Structures are given as C-alpha cells and as structure tokens.
C-alpha cells in the first residue's frame, strides 16, 4: 500500500505539490495524469525516495520512504529518460541491480533478454532510445519489485514492443500483485491498463478514483427536440459542463447518475436521445475545463 498524507514540496518559493493525499492499493495499476508542470514527476520522485517532502508523510507498507533501504529494495523506478552507468553493458547493469534487489531473478533476466533478443554484452549507450527503454524494462522486471514506478514509460517504443511490455506488466500484477504507478500524457494507454486514476493540476490532486467510477460519473448526451431547443428547466437541472449544437442536435457533457439523467431527459420527450460514455481523454479535458484549464481556440 502506498500513501501520501498532506504532502507538500517547494522548490525555493514555488509550491510544486500542495497537501497531496493519495493512496494506491497493492496490485493496483494507478495512472497519474495532469497538465504540463502539474507536479507528476515531483510526486513520483517523492515516492521513489529521491526527494524529501517539506511536510506531510510519504509511506509505503506502513514505513516512511525517504532514506529507507528496506523500502528502496521493494521499489523500482524508471524515469522518463532511463539512466544507466556510463559505458555499462546490460550484463554489468544486471550485476549492479542484482546486488541492490534481493528479489532479483537471474533466470527471468535471461529469459527476458532472450525474449527481447537483446545483446547483453553491448554497451547500453550505443543502443537507440527505444532500445534503452526496453533494457530498462528488462532490468526492472528481472528485479521483481513489489512496486514499479514509471514516468512516461512507453514513449518511443514501437507498437509490437509496447504490446509486449504491457503484457509483461499486466502478468506481474496478476501473478504476484505488483503495484504500478504510471505517469503519462498518453491517456489511451492509461485507459487501457490502469484501474485507478489520479488527476493532478498545479500541485493539487484534484481527483482520485477507480477508472470505472470516473467513467460512470460523467456522460456525453445527444438530444434533439421537435421545436428545436431543449426546455430551460432541463438545462438548469443538468447543469452541463459543456454544451455544443451540431445542426439540430445538442451535445451536453453532464455529471451525475446515469439513470437519473436519463429519466430527466426522457420526461422532456426528445426526438433523439443518446447517452454515451466518455473516453479518459474527454473526461480529462472536461474536468480540466471545469476548473478553468479550458482548451482555448488555438487558431490565430
Ligand atoms: N528541481 C526543481 N527546481 C525548481 N523547480 C522545479 C524542480 N523540479 C520541478 N520544478 C517545478 O515544479 C513544477 C512541477 O514539475 P514536475 O516536473 O513535477 O511536473 P510534471 O507534471 O511532471 O510536468 P510534465 O508533464 O511537463 O513533465 C514545475 O513548475 C517545475 O518547473
């Protein structure tokens, strides 16, 4: 179990994280999403024990994280730009991680190197960026960590490798309840593999929910009426986050219980009525719009 309780972090006078409360259950795949500069990497570095918080508590399995070797042996962090010792080969990096992680599985490392068709004797810096990321995954999965923290993990991987890596991650979560925290701007990927979502903006965790709950709380509605416009009372009741008119069809983005919304709309006798789920990308855009981070018209 991963917990943050009232965690704040400043850089000089700039507040990068402001009283963040977060909890991630064992065996969960948690997607952290947010605008640029929202504080995702800062949050991740606090969880990985790289930064120390100014206030609040960062706790893993009931223990404080910072300078805690016992916890560091359970956590593997792949940053957005994987780091390897200069001039090291994969084999040498593997030897290093073997000495850090008591859970290191040599047979798994051999199998993964084979599966990815990797020359472990080649210096890592001579590989392409995508390959270096694959090497980071091979080393991470061979360490058998209890918690895997990934910052923009699948960037730069080709679709076949992406699939391979995703399958391996899901396998470890299912088999041995590994917990994964993923920070990414690729919301389709997050939607594909995560079961919990945290949305962060300007250092504040705005939303933390199960993906299914997040999706069942916000809907896209398409309606049309004989006389052309929806009744004022309906708009008042629905209080849409977003309204759009496409020909004679009105599109509303509405928060709330699906059944209640459906009932309210059917009472107004629409000639067309559809209630559709939103993608995570749409949810993110409308939730952010709701707090003033609206998408401005970029045409100039
Ligand atoms: N070492 C640092 N010194 C000073 N300011 C920093 C430092 N690290 C981060 N910040 C600031 O803290 C804020 C949060 O940065 P962070 O890297 O956590 O955001 P992020 O959500 O990961 O952004 P992105 O999606 O753009 O990678 C930013 O405004 C950034 O400029």
Q: Are residues 194 and 221 in the same domain?
A: no
Whether 300 has a pLDDT exceeding 80, the answer reads: no
- pTM of the predicted structure, to 2 decimals: 0.90
- Single residue among 176, 194, 213 that ends a domain in this structure: 213
Task: Give the chain's count of helices (H) and strands (E).
Answer: 11, 14
- Single residue among 213, 243, 269 that ends a domain in this structure: 213
Q: Are residues 197 and 133 in the same domain?
A: yes
Q: Which atom of ligand 1 is nearest to the CA of 12?
A: 4
Q: Is residue 156 part of a domain?
A: yes
Q: Are residues 115 and 161 in the same domain?
A: yes
Q: Are residues 39 and 186 in the same domain?
A: yes
Q: What is the ipTM of this complex?
A: 0.97
Burial-class residue 222 by CB neighbours within 10 Å (0-12, 13-18, 19+). Answer: middle
Whether 295 has a pLDDT exceeding 80, the answer reads: no
Whether 15 has a pLDDT exceeding 80, the answer reads: yes
Q: Is residue 297 part of a domain?
A: no
Q: Which atom of ligand 1 is nearest to the CA of 185?
A: 25
Q: Are residues 197 and 154 in the same domain?
A: yes
Q: Are residues 6 and 151 in the same domain?
A: yes
Q: Measured from the CB, is residue 40 less than 6 Å from ligand 1?
A: yes
Burial-class residue 290 by CB neighbours within 10 Å (0-12, 13-18, 19+). Answer: middle
Rounded to the nearest angstrom, the distance between the alpha carbon of 121 and the centre of ligand 1 is 36
Poorest-pLDDT segment among 17-21, 74-78, 103-107, 288-292: 288-292
The count of structural domains within the chain is 2
Q: 15, 33, 38: which to mutate for ligand 1, most atoms within 8 A of CB?
A: 38
- Locate 79 and state its tokens: 């940053």
Nearest Cα residue to atom 14 of ligand 1: 39
Burial state string for 185-215 with b = 16 or more CB within 10 A and e = fewer than 16: ebbebbbebbebbbbbbbbbbbbbeebeebb
Q: Are residues 263 and 279 in the same domain?
A: yes
Q: Are residues 70 and 98 in the same domain?
A: yes
- What's the CA dihedral at 118, 119, 125, 131 to 10 degrees? -20
Q: Are residues 62 and 99 in the same domain?
A: yes
Q: Are residues 84 and 192 in the same domain?
A: yes
Domain that holds residue 236: 217-290
Rounded to the nearest angstrom, the distance between the alpha carbon of 197 and the centre of ligand 1 is 20
| pLDDT band for position 293 (cuts 50, 70, 90) | low
Whether 298 has a pLDDT exceeding 80, the answer reads: no
Beta bridge partners of 198: 32, 208
- Give 50-109 pLDDT, tens digit per residue: 999 999 999 999 999 999 999 999 999 999 989 999 999 999 999 999 999 999 999 999
Q: 41, 54, 150, 201: which to mutate for ligand 1, most atoms within 8 A of CB?
A: 41
């Amino acid at each position: 179990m991963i917990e943050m309780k009232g965690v704040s972090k400043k850089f000089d006078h700039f507040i990068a994280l402001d009283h963040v409360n977060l909890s991630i259950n064992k065996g969960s795949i948690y997607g952290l999403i947010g605008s640029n500069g929202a504080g995702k990497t800062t949050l991740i570095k606090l969880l990985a024990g790289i930064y120390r918080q100014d206030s609040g508590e960062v706790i893993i399995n009931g223990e404080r994280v910072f300078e805690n070797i016992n916890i560091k042996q359970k956590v593997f962090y792949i940053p957005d730009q994987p780091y390897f010792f200069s001039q090291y080969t994969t084999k040498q990096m593997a030897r290093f991680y073997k000495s850090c992680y008591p859970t290191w599985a040599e047979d798994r490392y051999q199998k993964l190197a084979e599966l990815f068709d990797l020359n472990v004797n080649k210096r890592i810096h001579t590989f392409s960026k995508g390959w270096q990321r694959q090497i980071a995954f091979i080393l991470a999965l061979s360490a058998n960590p209890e918690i895997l923290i990934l910052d923009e993990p699948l960037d730069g991987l080709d679709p076949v490798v992406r699939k391979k890596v995703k399958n391996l991650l899901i396998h470890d979560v299912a088999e041995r309840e590994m917990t994964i925290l993923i920070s990414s701007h690729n919301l389709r990927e997050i939607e594909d593999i995560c079961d919990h979502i945290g949305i962060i903006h300007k250092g504040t965790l705005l939303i933390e929910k199960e993906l299914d709950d997040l999706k069942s709380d916000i809907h896209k509605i398409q309606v049309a009426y004989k006389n052309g416009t929806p009744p004022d009372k309906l708009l008042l009741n629905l209080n849409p986050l977003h309204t759009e008119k496409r020909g004679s069809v009105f599109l509303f983005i509405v928060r709330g219980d699906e059944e209640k919304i459906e009932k309210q709309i059917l009472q107004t006798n629409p000639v067309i009525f559809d209630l559709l789920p939103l993608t995570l990308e749409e949810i993110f855009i409308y939730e952010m719009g709701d707090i003033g981070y609206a998408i401005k018209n970029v045409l100039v």
